[in-house]
Amino acid sequence: MNDEEHYQQGMNVRRAVLGEQHVDRTLSQLTPLNEEFQNFITRYAWGDIWTRPGLERHTRSLITIAMLIALNREAELKMHLRAAFNNGVTRDELKELIMHSALYCGLPAANATMHLAQQVFDEMDAAKR
């Protein structure tokens, strides 16, 4: 598969996981500084790793969220908490993941994530009204 095919495959997965609005907003903000980086993310993260056959997207979402909790990457974590629902992850599964992370990532990380998850849930619920 060439770079363009990886890009197209990655864009399909990226849109399915993150949502059309998020990807369109990102693409509308391309600049000479970030354009190559966004292409790189699409080809490698979404077109190569997220398309591998070894794990379902549901599992990849949970793993990604766990790693982002451990790394304290709030912006990416918020994005992936929201995106997890596109992969069939439930609120109860996210709650259990956050509870589990308290043991392995620490209480402050889990506490911050619990607040962030509630914020994401509230925003999603408000958008449905």
Kindly report, residue by residue over 76-106, the tens digit of the pLDDT.
999 999 999 999 999 999 999 999 999 999 9
How many residues belong to the chain? Answer: 129
CA 56 to chain CA centroid, Å, is 14
Question: pLDDT tens track of the chain, all 129 residues?
Answer: 898 999 999 999 999 999 999 999 999 999 999 999 999 999 999 999 999 999 999 999 999 999 999 999 999 999 999 999 999 999 999 999 999 999 999 999 999 999 999 999 999 999 988
Confidence (pLDDT) at 1 = 81
Distance CA 89, CA 97 (A): 11
Nearest to 45, CA basis, from 71, 58, 64? 64
Confidence (pLDDT) at 129 = 87
Confidence (pLDDT) at 46 = 96
This prediction's pTM: 0.92
